[in-house]
Chains A and B, each alone.
Chain A
């Protein structure tokens, strides 16, 4: 679904991302983790077209990402970020339907699609008329997910989607998200610094440090066959989260 061939990005003297290759297969969730400044956000910004790579190519469903194809390809991406990135001057419904409206969908089609998504994210339609400031953090993320899924995208891009939530809400939403990904069979590229979340969602984990891949594999590869000292350190520092999640998953 998503193929990255040797993409790299340099900011002035600093190499933000060394040549990187990887892929996200249909229905799979790939999680990029690492400490701040490791290059994970750069990677996501390259895929969204907010940055352009110095080298390499990005293929989405076989189509090469370029300034020419970017507008059409963006419609096939769903995008969820920390705090949701909702537009504060629009109601939840207007936020969800903004692109559908822009693409001139008919009203009944929009309403039908919103109905499906409400079921999916388990929200009541009371929330549709609220402004983002009138929603809780968890509700905002659910609305943001609806906006991302509105056009039924091929690929979901998530940047610390649960980052700003408190633990209880985070726990619920995490479970719901995983079910949704499985049910829709969506391909997901997620970026987080939280090893617990990575372990919970990731079919494949990619650990970055200072712009370079340290290790890739499943969570058990990272815990049982760490590539170096850093991997162990990084996992141990957040071990409690990871074990909580393992317990939940089992």
Chain B
């Protein structure tokens, strides 16, 4: 048992913190949301800036608007592509912004700058399969009123936003009750299989033509304009700002659809598509370094292991003592188990949003979130392992003269080892699975290919993350089974206090 508290763990912890990738002071981070168009725009900006000698890195699909907005405000990132409608209706809701001019002024108050429009207007559109819309004779959003049985599925962001579903339903007095949240990239699949009838989509989506989707006319002018712009911190390097401004008016609606289609339908990578674009428009040659499957695997594994090792070791160091306290002081124990139970129920995305303002993006908030999710199984199993030791054994230890601390160390913890290890095993498996969500906020790991795979509907990419994650979980399980063999004497492995009765 003593090994759990040995300095080996601390050493490993320190080592892994030191090699955690961190942005150097000079490096600028351009971030993107988790959908193709935004990634292409961020990649284009990155390549333009790179060509002008700025040290710049593209943090790919960092998350939803909220996460990027927060990261920009805290200076975690330098710039990202955004949409005017999102800014005025979501980020600055309540300020009644009517024009780009007012928007720019409101942003300046927050220390944020905005470029001129890139050109295209990527507004929300309600879409239905052409053939379904035709048969029901629906061409405008107001026509939906006549069909209360239609099934709606909207991207989670659209469901939650002030300028999304809630407002739309009020404006058009839509009666539908079958409405659920669904990942945007999966929504097309649902539409195609006819399990849903109406989805939200973006007017520049590549899929509109591919899936033969009818865009319904916004006959009551509900949706605001969503012109693409870059937003950046006003205290940024003027060269960076100037670079972003070079994009003014460079991409119209049609070109944006073409670029999106190049990625989503032709299966080319965003950096490639962006490189072709900057070469054509700005005569900039970019070196696209496509990493091999093996290189990606090594990098993802490294990132994933770091996340898991730090968070799990820290959780072990904290949760075992908490479990001991819980077992020793019953009233305190109820509180500890209660709190760790509540922490377990916080959805991971919500937790990330809480953590980002404090810890920034990437590794640190992910490690903290994983740490929090790893606590409960270890605390609970330490508690029950100690609690289940027969009273006769506990009392014998005291009466023969062992002080409480020595009894814990020599008798109780060793007897609870099996249970504690089982708790750690559970935590490790949960941890490895949950760590894939770290990719949502730029922590990398096996979640990176999974996320990209979902976005591009590429099963191969999804498996590139999912298979190693599953193998890692099995591996860790095996390691703990080995540790159990080493730590436990033979008669303890199967029955905790089993004694021969004769």
Contact = CB atoms under 8 A, between A and B. Distances in A.
A79 B502 contact: no
Interface stretch (A31-39, A133-141, A201-209): A133-141
A2 to B, nearest CB: 15
A136 B401 contact: no
B489 A131 contact: yes
Interface string B474-502: 00000000000000111110011111111
Given A50-B399, A102-B406, A83 B392 contact: yes
B410 A136 contact: no
Contacts of A170: none
Contacts of B400: 74, 79, 98-99, 147-148
A88 B496 contact: yes
Interface string A147-181: 11001000001000000101000000000000000
A79 B489 CA distance: 25
Interface residues of A, number: 35
B399 A133 contact: no
Interface residues of B, number: 29
Among the interface residues A48, A133, A136, which one has the most CB atoms of the partner chain B within 10 A? A133
A50 B398 contact: yes
B332 interface: no
B396 A133 contact: no
Nearest to A79: B399
A135 B502 CA distance: 9
Contacts of B397: 87
A209 to B, nearest CB: 25
A133 B498 contact: yes
Contacts of B502: 136-137, 166
A74 B399 contact: yes
A79 B396 contact: yes
Contacts of A140: 499
A132 B415 CA distance: 13
Contact of B491 (A77, A82, A88, A166): A88
A133 B415 contact: no
16 contacts: A50-B395, A74-B398, A79-B396, A81-B396, A83-B392, A85-B396, A87-B411, A89-B411, A89-B415, A98-B400, A131-B492, A133-B498, A133-B500, A136-B500, A137-B500, A166-B502
Given A88-B499, A102-B406, A137-B502, 17 more contacts: A48-B399, A49-B399, A74-B399, A79-B399, A82-B392, A83-B392, A85-B392, A87-B393, A88-B496, A133-B495, A133-B498, A133-B499, A133-B500, A135-B500, A136-B502, A148-B400, A164-B501
